[in-house]
Amino acid sequence: NTTSILCVDRNGCCNFTTVESAVDAAPVLSQKRIIIWINSGVYYEKVRVPRNKPNITFQGQGYDVTAIVWNDTANSSHGTFYSGSVQVFATNFVAKNISFMNIAPIPSPGAVGAQAVAIRVGGDQAAFWGCGFFGAQDTLHDDRGRHYFRDCYIQGSIDFIFGNGQSFYENCQLVSIASPVQPGHEYINGVVTASGRDKPDDTG
């Protein structure tokens, strides 16, 4: 058998009621795929997939009915990098039909420490199909590694896709929720992403 399935249901209909407890139960350095089947519902928790838990799949029931939600900000979590509702450091991570949300308040233009990441993807060869990413400033931290996003919905206001990942986005919908600012205002209120290149011809 090349796969193993763990089931999560917040109402107790499976072996696990939280996503984090299922991740904790996944074997270390598994060579086979571990599918974490997540039933419909909103899971209010912070989830971390550590480096020693490769080959994990989060399988939701639709990004509009299955979501992992938290509300950390850069101020509350000792920095933007640690504010993610979900943080993935393992290789070969896959997510399908699930949303990742950070529900911290939308920051005002120029606010300090209000970055609020929905997911940080820091493992190589991650893939997302039919997923939702919801936040405001710094929604999707495409941190490092090679990543693929297909048929995803990505929402935010300021630099809501950022990082050093080498990623391909296919048929994804990018939605800005930035509010208008008055003419001549000092700050820009809506930017999808900002370049982090070290030199103009850097393509990676």
In sequence order, the 6+-apart residues with CB closer than 8 A to the CB of 27 are 4, 34
From 91, 73, 78, select the one nearest 33 (Cα to Cα): 91
DSSP codes, 129-141: ES-EEE-SBT-EE
| DSSP reduced 3-state for 44 | strand
Q: Rounded to the nearest 5°, which phi and psi values hold at 187? A: -110, 150
Contact indicator for 106, 80 with CB cutoff of 8 Å: no
Burial class, 99, CB count within 10 angstroms (exposed 0-12 / middle 13-18 / buried 19+): buried
Q: Of the listed 9, 24, 159, 198, which one is catalytic? A: 159
159 is catalytic: yes
The pairing of beta strand 146-150 with beta strand 126-129: parallel
The torsion defined by the Cα of 95, 83, 141 and 68, in degrees rounded to 10, comes to 20
Active site residues per annotation: 159
